[in-house]
Structure 1
Amino acid sequence: MKNTRNALIIFLLIIICLITAACSGKQPIEQDTAAGNQLLSSSWDQVLAEAKGQTVNWYMWGGSDAINEFVDRKYGRVLKEQYGINLHRVPISDTAEAVNKVLNEKQAGKNQGGSVDLIWINGENFATLKQASALFGPFAAKLPNAKYVDYDNPAVVKDFGLNTEGYESVWGSAQFQFVYDANRIQPSELPHTYMELKQWVEKHPGRFTYNAPPDFTGIRFVKQLFYEVSGGYQNWSQPFDQQRFDSEASKVWDYLNELKPSLWRKGETYPKTTAELMTLFNNNEVDFAFTQDIGGITTDIGKGKLPKTAKPYVFDTGTIGDYHYVAIPYDASHKAAAMVVANLILDPKLQFEKADPASGWGDGIGIDPTQLDGEYKTLYTELTANSGATAVPADVLLKHKLPDLQAAYTLALEEGWKNHVLFQK
């Protein structure tokens, strides 16, 4: 998902919200109103009964026609026909738009009748709302289909290092992968670490670049480098340490600045998005692109965005993978219906349809395959068998999956890249 933010605006809104509450002599609005608490203690049949006839205003990034069509067709139809729920997808260009809307309502003292019922969310945006006590819950474990989710997996229950604590429910997954063209590069020539990548780039000047942070895959490329030069992700699970970060991050800036003269256009400019990088790759201007789609690159090949001989792979040192979620604001008008949507999108059949590149998306599943049996297990086996050469095998991805970095370190890397790499001449 797209996760660009205006962190300063959001931070100021939180401060204003807390100051207003303090000056008024009132305590900040509690996450769960009495009605919300009652809903959380209700049976699922009672939740369904309350949800019937409601309209869910689902705020979500709307930049993909394929995703929009899938949500409307697959979820909207089932919700209407089986549950009597209307799905109103509200497209936004940045998740921070929905976050700001909720924070504005909180700052105004509103605790019911909110305009946002459900948000497609993760990372810093989730952290912002959770820290502002602006989320309803914990509701995730209440969902019947939560039985398919592996809540023992740290990658599921920690979103960018922050414990979700049931205030968001998983929807899908993604993992960073490199893409190369088998007609240009033989598998034996591929770099499998950042140190090997540097050697490759220096031998092939002008044939590599990466997305400029804070683009989602661009900063993920930098975060993986940060892990490799600093001894691994295990070293960054504790609260933010500025002195330690500065010491290790200097290795990142040195690496990237040493790489600059050998980059596409000598590092004087960078593609802004994954789509721009794919265009450069497809036009044979560079030899690598990136993808986050666990289901493979079949869709991008079919649309002509990538050559037919393109293949994805991951570094031996691992690549960052994560989950994306849905969350319900504290003042959502239709919490029951939002819970039904959150449960529906965990349905194994719909998870597999979403993961199938034929859907136009190819998003990774959010459920745990080991929790499946019978028909669902068979369907999953068929799904993975059909992915073919345009996808990295699921077991290989899992073996090389690295957890994402805490939001505070991510923001520090974004700012540091701008100051120490982009503006470094």
Structure 2
Amino acid sequence: MKRLLLFLVMVLILVLAACGNSDTASVAGMNESQLKQEAKGKTVHFYMWGGDKNINAYIDNFVTPNVKNKYDITLKRIPMDTEKFIQKLNSEKQAGKKDGSIDLVWINGQNFKIAKDNHLLYGKITEQIPNVAKLVDPRLTKKDAGNAIEEMEAPWGKTSFVLQYNSKEVTKPPLDLQELTAWVKANPGRFTYPDVADFTGDAFVRQIIYAQNPEKTFTKAPTKSDRVKAYTYLQSLAPYLWREGKTYPKTLQELDQLYAQGQVDFTMGFNERRALPFMEDGTFPKTTRTFAFDNGALTNAHYLSMAFNTQQPAASLVVINYLLSEAAQAEKLKTSVWGDGTTLLTEQMSPDWQARFKAAGKTGNQFYNSWQALDEFPDTTAEAIQKEWSQYVYP
């Protein structure tokens, strides 16, 4: 009798465990049709940086209603800095939480490496995202800032690091460091960049390293000597920066606000079309233009992935596949929406879609110059800059 009772208890435990994780267990091997069927009626929690109102509006006003109408999926955007939701995932991992609060994440570079190394991601996902094989540029699926992707994330967008300036106040933008030095010293207080704790500030330092070595091809991470050379240069500019370089904007949003208020004449960031939506809605001056240093612009991709303990893997895969569709990518490319570069191979599309992408990507006379793409450094460079910069740059 005791053996029978023990057997029944064990069976019950196994059944309950299977029911509690039925969606996760059943998603392996599902085809597109099965995933869509499984996704119906589900809610996907999308954790993403929320510092850009145009990006937020794209998700809320375009993506969310479309995935609801097409797949009966409720998409909830959860704004949170990437580092914070990585910490949240890590806390859930340490606590052994199998039913997670996070489903879909927007991630890349250093944060992808941290998530991957700590087993915070779902695993290999791109085989079950048809648009990755069908439409995405395969060159973007191999490495993310030097880290092997191994099918754990899907390329969502591709951008270049550029600067914006007010052409009413700046006749000719500085295209190299000699010109930047001359302009900053002639116009004290009118230029700055974010603290390197912010992704954009860190990227600006990496861009300076490239600008100091215009003839060098980096086949590996810059050396400490390369980094110190950049810090020394930035230290020489500090007395002529906004607030004499005694403090820096904490985030790109703060720098954008300074620029919008006319306190500085430049802002910057990844995404060469980023200024256009801000110009359209009146945030930035209509006289804003965009440029890159003449030796090139850092270029990288950003990605979508899934939490290791997502409760909705099928629905998350369906949402990612939609975000990589022609319709979603063409809308995202529109300069009136987000202006984010596409990861799709447009030359393989139908003539109709090629025409749509060409129209969506028009920038008019926004670009002061053209530039070549510079490969992003391995993420160890960003980590080093975050540790070292303040030791050299702060007075």
> TM-score, normalising length from structure 2?
0.86
Question: Unpaired segments of 5 or more residues in structure 1?
Answer: 1-32, 239-243
Q: Distance in 1 between matches of 2:210 and 2:28?
A: 40
| 1:198-347 equivalent positions in 2, closer than 5 A | 198-230=181-213, 234-235=217-218, 237=220, 245-347=223-325
**2:365 is paired with a residue of what secondary structure?**
helix
Q: Given the superposition, is the C-alpha separation of residues 236 and 262 from structure 1 closer, same or farther in structure 2, using an over 3 Å criterion? A: farther
**1:364 is paired with a residue of what secondary structure?**
coil
Aligned to 2:99: 113
Aligned to 2:12: none
Partners of 1:318 and 1:400 within 8 A in 2: yes
> TM-score, normalising length from structure 1?
0.80
Paired residue type of 2:309: D
Aligned to 2:17: none
Q: When the two structures are aligned, how many residues end up with a matched partner? A: 374
Aligned to 1:132: 118
Q: Given the superposition, is the C-alpha separation of residues 294 and 191 from structure 1 closer, same or farther in structure 2, using an over 3 Å criterion? A: closer
Paired residue type of 1:90: I
More deviation in 267-276 or 121-130?
Answer: 267-276
Please identify the structure whose Cα radius of gyration is greater: 2
Q: Given the superposition, is the C-alpha separation of residues 131 and 203 from structure 1 closer, same or farther in structure 2, using an over 3 Å criterion? A: same
**2:229 is paired with a residue of what secondary structure?**
helix
Q: Given the superposition, is the C-alpha separation of residues 84 and 306 from structure 1 closer, same or farther in structure 2, using an over 3 Å criterion? A: closer
Identical aligned pairs, as a percentage? 33
| 1:62-141 equivalent positions in 2, closer than 5 A | 62-92=50-80, 94-110=81-97, 112-141=98-127
**2:361 is paired with a residue of what secondary structure?**
helix
Post-superposition shift, 1:347?
A: 1.0
Q: Distance in 2 between matches of 1:233 and 1:104?
A: 42
Partners of 2:45 and 2:77 within 8 A in 1: yes
Q: Distance in 2 between matches of 1:101 and 1:190?
A: 42
More deviation in 126-135 or 275-284?
Answer: 275-284
**1:388 is paired with a residue of what secondary structure?**
coil
Partners of 2:104 and 2:305 within 8 A in 1: yes
Q: Distance in 1 between matches of 2:78 and 2:259?
A: 33
| 1:338-417 equivalent positions in 2, closer than 5 A | 338-359=316-337, 361-385=338-362, 387-391=363-367, 396=370, 399-417=371-389
Q: Distance in 2 between matches of 1:236 and 1:95?
A: 28
C-alpha distance after superposition, 1:39-69 (max 9, x if no partner): 3422221222222222212112233343333
C-alpha distance after superposition, 1:63-118 (max 9, x if no partner): 334333321332222222221222222222x12232222222222334x4222111
Partners of 1:177 and 1:291 within 8 A in 2: yes
Q: Does 1:173 align with 2:164?
A: no
Aligned to 2:4: none
Aligned to 1:8: none
Post-superposition shift, 1:338?
A: 0.4
Q: Distance in 1 between matches of 2:169 and 2:149?
A: 43
Q: Does 1:55 align with 2:40?
A: no
Q: Distance in 2 between matches of 1:80 and 1:232?
A: 51
Partners of 1:173 and 1:294 within 8 A in 2: no
Q: Given the superposition, is the C-alpha separation of residues 208 and 89 from structure 1 closer, same or farther in structure 2, using an over 3 Å criterion? A: closer
Q: Given the superposition, is the C-alpha separation of residues 63 and 290 from structure 1 closer, same or farther in structure 2, using an over 3 Å criterion? A: closer
Question: Unpaired segments of 5 or more residues in structure 2?
Answer: 1-20
Q: Distance in 1 between matches of 2:378 and 2:216?
A: 10
**2:336 is paired with a residue of what secondary structure?**
helix
**1:212 is paired with a residue of what secondary structure?**
coil
Paired residue type of 2:179: E
Partners of 2:93 and 2:120 within 8 A in 1: yes
Q: Distance in 1 between matches of 2:22 and 2:193?
A: 49
Q: Distance in 1 between matches of 2:214 and 2:168?
A: 34
When the two chains are superposed, the root-mean-square deviation of aligned CA atoms in Å is: 2.5
Paired residue type of 2:101: S
